[in-house]
Amino acid sequence: MEQRFEYERFKAVSPAKIRDMIAMAKEQLTMAYAPYSGFYVAAALLCRDGSVYTGCNVENSSYPAGNCAERTAVFKAVSEGKREFSCIVIMGGNAGKVEAYCPPCGICRQVLREFCRPSEFFVILAKSEEDYRVFSLEELLPESFGPEFLTE
Ligand code: THU
């Protein structure tokens, strides 16, 4: 995946905070419940107030009932009253071994879109604390549909 992101646009979050969030996601990866796919995913979502919510994928014997890591993190945060987010770290791999960047699925991109401006929210695909790529949500979900279409 080509890095098209310009770092100047991503001023809100320090490299130290990103490293902390990647460490949190790495720990969260051990909680992934993925007995069917064997593909473990974890996310760490940074709220505008500085708090971080982690999430992992939670699969189900009725396969479509499973939930992705990113949505777990978003739903945890929203259910705790948070609705303003800065960025999300995502990492994953087979059996929890992270060997490649793990981009968010289309449904998760749309769920993230609900609570942000796509040009101001950043998706960080991490392999480790030192190796990650940053994209705006706008790059990952161009010309997107959002709540303003229903309220304006
Ligand atoms: N998965 C995520 O958790 N996030 C994504 O964005 C991609 C896919 C999970 C869902 C399922 O449990 C497993 O990875 C294989 O698709």
Question: In angstroms, what is the span from residue 17 Cα to ligand 1's centroid?
Answer: 25
User: How far is the C-alpha of 114 from the C-alpha of 12, rounded, in Å?
Assistant: 20
φ and ψ of 86, to 5 deg: -100, -45
Q: Which of 45, 56, 105, 135 to mutate to test the pocket of ligand 1 (most atoms within 8 A of CB)?
A: 105
For ligand 1, atom 10: residue with the closest CA: 68
Which pLDDT belongs to residue 59?
98
Q: What is the mean pLDDT of each run of 10 residues along the chain (152 residues)?
A: 56 89 98 98 97 98 98 98 98 97 98 96 97 96 97 72
Find out whether 88 and 112 touch, Cβ atoms under 8 Å. Answer: yes
Question: In angstroms, what is the span from residue 3 Cα to ligand 1's centroid?
Answer: 22
Which pLDDT belongs to residue 2?
54
Which pLDDT belongs to residue 151?
81
E-strand stretches of 23-149: 39-47, 52-56, 85-94, 122-126, 132-136
Catalytic machinery residues? 70
Which pLDDT belongs to residue 11?
72
Which pLDDT belongs to residue 152?
64
Which pLDDT belongs to residue 1?
54
Query: Which tokens is 127 given?
Result: 């392999």
Distances (CA, A) of 101 to 89, 94, 139: 11, 12, 16
Decide whether any atom of ligand 1 lies within 6 Å of the 34 Cβ. Answer: yes
Residue 21 has what DSSP assignment?
Answer: H
User: How far is the C-alpha of 127 from the C-alpha of 120, rounded, in Å?
Assistant: 23
End-to-end CA distance of the chain: 35
User: How far is the C-alpha of 37 from the C-alpha of 15, rounded, in Å?
Assistant: 32
Q: Is 13 left (phi over 0), alpha (psi -120 to 50) or beta?
A: beta
Q: Which helix (H) or strand (E) holds 69?
A: helix 69-79
63, amino acid identity: Y
Contacts of 67 (CB under 8 A, 6+ apart): 57, 58, 75
